[in-house]
Structure 1
Amino acid sequence: MPMFWFSPAVKVETGTASRGYAVTNVQRAADFLLSWKHLGGPKWKLAAQACIRCLQGEIPPEDVRAPFEDAAREAGKLVEY
Structure 2
Amino acid sequence: MKVFKAKMETKDYLLAGIYDRLTLLVYANTKDAQKGRNKPKMLLDILDKEKEQVNSFNSSEDFIKAKERILKNIEEKECDIDE
What TM-score does the superposition give when structure 1 sets the normalisation length?
Answer: 0.29
Structure number with higher strand proportion: 1
| Greater RCO, 1 or 2 (C-alpha within 8 Å, sep 6+) | 1
The structure that has the greater radius of gyration is 2
Structure number with higher helix proportion: 2
What TM-score does the superposition give when structure 2 sets the normalisation length?
Answer: 0.28
